[in-house]
Structure 1
């Protein structure tokens, strides 16, 4: 009876300390050791030369229930904190940087700094996870009473309460870990520029900001890691959905926008990657296991957004995938779908073909919306799909926009004190990706004439008073490179 009662008390603990979900992020001190269980979460500096490379990381328990710690210390963080390669895994790569443990409010002079040794494994292909080995072995950290966080063995249940403990930016005057609380809202497939993420955990914790990437997503009752904070729509606009820092969900083949939302990469299953305290990517059921590598052809350029066009007869013309690559396997198979998760199903893949110098150039469509190209590597025509193969396909996304005009240029035109003009274009991918301009004497320039336009990618343009009057012609181009109708502005003395 005493044992059962004690277990119930342990299960009933609220690591959120009674705070409501969605409440403002709470700065954590460690007075009287009350937050000792988060000493293993720290500020991660991967590249010491760049403040932008700051993330959060957590020391994980890699002992598989064993009392002795004979292996290295491993930090779990986001894959994008160490790599931006959307196609291949990174393995066993030396890295410089450090992590600061004991990163509590008011404790900056007594943090525990430990140097990074190598990126053991990292990916942003389907997941967003990285394991980094420290120079310091795990036992030495245990001797310092830094207790690693345990990995959950199962995904979150519906509406379960979650926590994020991390180091968001914006608190330079009071640095330290912060606790955010929210409920689990389900799993979603995401597209963010060239990145295609599958089954990410959706939630709305307050106070998440740059620097939160890599923060452990924790079960509020057990304090076990169930995911790693990856991306957010909190500082993005709906018009930029599916682009950089503006992840979109995929619903029925269509991109959907969820404002003020965060997404975390699942970490359940990672405990299967450790054998006797050491990372072993060949371990059965290891979720960071992949040997498939893709090399892109010289003519490759990302094509994440394309528009259906019309020929002279008004018939639709569809873009193609135009995907040149080679694999490190002898053969490959592929298919196209409207769901990224469907890439993990072995059904409807085409017959195997030679995987050297391939060009997949099938048309995309015919329906507007999001389309996915799924590629797996095989050794022969007869090879049966294995779990490893189907869990780690290469997935490429393309949004197919319906036929129609490109958004007109949007310019802010200000008169300068010396009499000239400052013209600043508004950029907003995918619709206002790049501008082209031309200008000259009003009677000598025809904005409808296509010749003479030059591209402009960023920043403002200045026109001196001595050149006035002046006709300014501009066009906006979307990510599919389709131009808008020309805009005409007269800049008068």
Structure 2
């Protein structure tokens, strides 16, 4: 996921250009949909509704990493602010565990409110106390408790943002307020506007996201993650900005920072699109100003805990291979795990939504040191493993269980060698050569090389190749021609055909 971790534009002079939007109810300040994001300076207190949005630094140890976050209204309709202050941000800003819910973890970072243009010397800093709950399993949300009370921030004039209790409809006008990087000359909150373009299930690396909002608001960049996505009329939070395809190449779709949409079992890249995790349901989890995910009204995802096998690293990309007789060999899930329930059921499907159906799940099996090793395929595309925990063989598949499984993804590529190596080779002043491999997941993942006298080295001979992980490799000058042999490997460990380059003395 992208960590989404100037001249001042006076919005008072911007005309009302959003169709059907009146000045009295336009929190977009007249900004035209899909136009460039504008910095907010809060002159004459005109941007006071966004004093509650700030720049989040989750950890003291990583001051270079920041997200955006917003103070949320935890009073649930009560006029009394009796609990601590909570902020809402993206789950990936504080946790990278794609399989589990993270909770009750101390944090030592801070958030700076009043992060307006020209006001960086007077921002209001609040220390973080603990990560209350974070998930990147299906959703991308985190709730953080501050080391202060909500009332203390209200006393300082910061009004929290309310979380909507209604799902936004397609075409609803949105605004996004956050702190994107890339504006070091004029750091500030920035406002952008765009319509909601529907929803999509996403795959990004090992993360499977369901029902994310899609939109094309401008100005999204590293640091924008966690920004509140707001209904333009009510200024209520409808989602939290998660990821984007801005600047993404088609060849990298479904990889880190390059989310792809899941369409009938096939990966689809939607260019220049941003996605946000819906916030619907979060408001039901606050009782008397305190976050309580166990409240009967709370509709958050379950806390089913999965532990992967020792030293196992998930790889969501594999390839169909051919044996010595040319017969198809399908990859397997090879998924070792344990759950905190005694039993589990599973099934393989082509879209994450199919996990919600109770049909075709396996019989209950032991969930301690379990292994799912079924074959995957045969068609190229995306496959999803749905895993639910059960307490007994007779436990019925309740709707809550079906809504919140662990989902494991794998993309299957057709058989064949991976792409040929792509190298930039430059002659140096001393007669040597600088070799720069082009890396591009999932197909150009690892390079191997060998070199030697041009008349003796055979690139077709598999012996002698060694992996090279540096971005630049130096080959010293020699008095006679050299041959450089290279192979590329994809993330399924499939090799390319060898490439041969002749290096003259």
Return the TM-score normalized by structure 2: 0.94
> CA-to-partner distance for each residue in 1:161-207, whole Å, 9 max, x for gaps?
11110000011111110001111011101001111111100000101
- Pick from 25, 33, 39: which aligns with 2:37? 25
Aligned partner (choices 253, 259, 274) of residue 286 of structure 2? 274
SS of 1:389's partner is helix
- Per the alignment, do residues 325 and 253 of structure 1 end up closer, same or farther by CA in structure 2, a change over 3 Å counting? same
The alpha-carbon distance between structure 1 residues 168 and 312, as it changes in their structure 2 partners (threshold 3 A), is same
User: Contact conserved, 2:201 with 2:261, CA < 8 A, in 1?
Assistant: yes
- Say if 1:299 and 1:324, in contact at 8 Å, map to a contact too: no
1:478 maps onto 2:480 in alignment: no
Residue in structure 1 matched with residue 13 of structure 2 by the alignment: none
Query: Take 1:466 and 1:231, find their aligned partners in 2: how far apart are those partners?
Result: 49
Aligned to 2:70: 58
- Residue 34 of structure 1 is matched in structure 2 by 46
1:380-395 alignment to 2 at 5 Å? 380-395=392-407
Indicate the residue corresponding to 1:293 in structure 2. 305
Alignment of 1:204-223 (within 5 A): 204-223=216-235
Does the Cα contact within 8 Å between 1:190 and 1:198 map onto a contact in 2? yes
Match of 1:245 in 2: 257
Question: Is the 1:165–1:179 Cα contact (8 Å) retained in structure 2?
Answer: yes
The count of residues paired between Structure 1 and Structure 2 equals 486
2:10 maps to what in 1? Answer: none
Superposition deviation, residue 29 in structure 1: 1.0
Q: 2:447 aligns with which of 435, 458, 473?
A: 435
Q: How does 1:78-227 map to 2 (within 5 A)?
A: 78-227=90-239
Q: State the Cα distance separating 1:392 from its structure 2 match.
A: 2.1
Bigger mean CA deviation after superposition, 225-234 or 306-315: 306-315
- What's the offset of the Cα at 1:106? 1.0
Corresponding residue for 2:331? 319
Following superposition, the deviation at residue 252 of structure 1 comes to 0.7
Partner of 1:408: 420
Q: Which residue of 2 aligns with 1:258?
A: 270
| Structure 2: distance between partners of 1:272 and 1:482 | 49
What SS does structure 2 have at the residue aligned with 1:32? helix
Normalising by structure 1, we get a TM-score of 0.96
Instruction: Decide which of 235, 245, 248 is 1:233's aligned counterpart.
Output: 245
Once residues 496 and 297 of structure 2 are traced to their aligned partners in structure 1, the CA distance between those partners, rounded to angstroms, is 51
Q: Secondary structure at the match of 2:25?
A: coil
Tell me by how many angstroms 1:233 deviates.
0.6
Q: Does the aligned pair in 2 maintain the 1:96–1:116 contact within 8 Å?
A: yes
Matches within 5 A, 1:304-315: 304-315=316-327
Match of 2:362 in 1: 350
Which piece of structure 1 moves more, 92-101 or 377-386?
A: 377-386
* Contact 2:225/2:243 (8 A) holds in 1: yes
* 1:469 matched to 2:481: yes
Q: Structure 2: how far apart are the matches of 1:209 and 1:150?
A: 25
**Which position in structure 2 is the counterpart of 1:45?**
57
Could you tell which deviates more after superposition, 249-258 or 396-405? 396-405
1:11 and 1:222 in contact (8 A); partners too: no
Aligned partners of 1:415, 1:25: CA distance in 2, in Å? 44
Indicate the residue corresponding to 1:5 in structure 2: none
Distance 1:245 1:9, change over 3 A: closer
Match of 1:53, SS state, is coil
- Asked if the contact 1:352–1:381 (Cα under 8 Å) also holds between the matched residues in 2, the reply is yes
Q: 1:276 to 1:387 in 2, by over 3 A?
A: farther
Q: Deviations over 1:117-152 (max 9, x none)?
A: 000000101100000000011110111110000001
Greater displacement, 11-20 / 84-93: 11-20
- 2-structure distance, mates of 1:286, 1:453: 56
Deviations 1:455-479 (A, max 9, x none): 1223110011137521110001011
Measured in 2, the distance between the counterparts of 1:174 and 1:113 equals 19
Match of 1:340 in 2: 352
1:396 Cα offset (Å): 0.6
Deviates more, 1:21-30 or 1:459-468: 459-468
Q: Distance in 2 between matches of 1:137 and 1:131?
A: 15
| 2:176/2:230 contact within 8 Å kept | yes
- C-alpha deviation, 1:17, in angstroms: 1.5
1:330 aligned partner? 342
Unaligned runs of 5+ in 2: 1-19
Task: State the Cα distance separating 1:285 from its structure 2 match.
Answer: 4.5
Question: Secondary structure at 1:150's aligned position in 2?
Answer: coil
Q: CA deviation at 1:10?
A: 9.5
Distance 1:354 1:11 in 2: 60
TM-aligned CA deviation for residue 367 of structure 1: 1.3
> How far is the alpha carbon of 1:383 from its aligned partner?
1.0
- 1:312: how far off? 2.7
Q: Is the 8 A contact 1:243 1:429 kept in 2?
A: yes
Distance across 1 between alignment mates of 2:362 and 2:174: 41
Shift of 1:11: 10
SS at match of 1:476: strand
CA distance in 2, matches of 1:387, 1:48: 41
